Amino acid sequence: MWLLPQGALLVRGAGGYDGGMNLDFSEDEISRYSRHILLREVGGVGQAQLREARVLLVGAGGLGSPLLMYLAAAGVGTIGLVDDDVVDLSNLQRQIAHTTGSLGTPKVESAIERAHAINPLVRIAPHRTRLGVENILEVFAEYDIVCDGTDNFPTRFLISDACVLAKKTLVSAAVLRFDGQLSTFKPHAGEGCPCYRCLYPAPPPDGLVPTCSEAGVLGAVTGVMGTLQATEVLKEILGIGESMSGRVLVWDALSARFRTIKLRPDPACIACGPNATLKDLSGHGDTAGPACAI
């Protein structure tokens, strides 16, 4: 039997104590999450916050795989997974939620089976669909935090605009070849908090930026970036540490260098600026294009 310091369950997570929160844990939960509960920044209250959190992952691919497995392992109580693709042999070099035995099966089914094998206590809702103007706000409504793990700009802009309109925190990661980027966007949190369009005002012309299927990606790079993304989601839920809002993490795996770049809100931003013109998603047309996961 492991040792739980007396009163550890009453330690407050730095995210603040919600008096209405259910702090009852089973013996199994206490054992499963003991290394979290021992952390002063998490404690029992933080673990209860994780259990009550609702996080949506868009893409069950190279980023979504470690993201899903770590959030499920961490006890994030409600996780949604959006993907309309099936497992292909070319996915397995990086999409570690899927196995050779799951070739041809829907990625949401394959990934959820793997995550539930790690932690059957969390609820994982499959959304086997392609996000578009017609359904994205309805899907987002059930969640507090959205994670982007897609590999094309039309979908990234649609997800960002929907998050701004619905006031959802967006934890976004991207990879290409040997490079990774990560940031958190939550302009609803107040001054100094930019959105994705403050970084990229508009999608680049078609074909200018290659996708991973055109340019390639080192599989382990998606693993690192998806795991960093999971870490930032957990920090946002717990309200601990320094948020990545207002900063962009850039990683060059070949030189093994991380850099953090300051990102300020763009006063001319059409989505979150003082004179924002984005009032709905009509500018995105009927479909967002292919929502392939990285």
Q: Is 198 in the site for Zn ion (CB under 5 A)?
A: yes
Looking at the Cβ atoms of 63 and 269, the one nearer to Zn ion is: 269
Q: Is 221 in the site for Zn ion (CB under 5 A)?
A: no
Q: Is 193 in the site for Zn ion (CB under 5 A)?
A: no
Q: Kindly state the smallest distance separating residue 187's Cβ from Zn ion, in Å.
A: 6
Q: Is 195 in the site for Zn ion (CB under 5 A)?
A: yes
Q: Kindly state the smallest distance separating residue 143's Cβ from Zn ion, in Å.
A: 21
Residue type, 88: D
Scanning 97-105, 212-220, 266-274, 284-292 for contacts with Zn ion by CB under 5 A, the matching segment is 266-274
Looking at the Cβ atoms of 195 and 288, the one nearer to Zn ion is: 195
Tokens linked to 247: 């900063």
Looking at the Cβ atoms of 234 and 272, the one nearer to Zn ion is: 272
DSSP code string of 209-231: S--HHHH-B-HHHHHHHHHHHHH
Q: Kindly state the smallest distance separating residue 27's Cβ from Zn ion, in Å.
A: 47
Looking at the Cβ atoms of 133 and 272, the one nearer to Zn ion is: 272
**Rounded CA separation 198/33 (Å):** 38
Tokens linked to 135: 């359904």
- C-alpha angle 44-49-50 in degrees, rounded to nearest 5: 95
Binding residue for Zn ion, selected from 168, 197, 235, 284, defined by CB under 5 A = 197
Q: Is 114 in the site for Zn ion (CB under 5 A)?
A: no
What string marks each residue from 131 to 170 as x (binds Zn ion by CB under 5 A) or -?
A: ----------------------------------------
What string marks each residue from 267 to 286 as x (binds Zn ion by CB under 5 A) or -?
A: --x-xx--------------
**Rounded CA separation 117/98 (Å):** 12
**Rounded CA separation 155/209 (Å):** 14
Total residues binding Zn ion (CB under 5 A): 6
Sheet holding 78-82, edge to edge: 123-127, 78-82, 54-58, 145-148, 169-176, 179-185, 247-252, 257-262
Quick one: how far is CA 75 from the chain centroid? 15
Looking at the Cβ atoms of 94 and 197, the one nearer to Zn ion is: 197
Looking at the Cβ atoms of 51 and 197, the one nearer to Zn ion is: 197
- C-alpha angle 86-54-160 in degrees, rounded to nearest 5: 70
Q: Is the CB of residue 66 less than 8 Å from the CB of residue 95?
A: no
Binding site for Zn ion (CB under 5 A): 195, 197-198, 269, 271-272
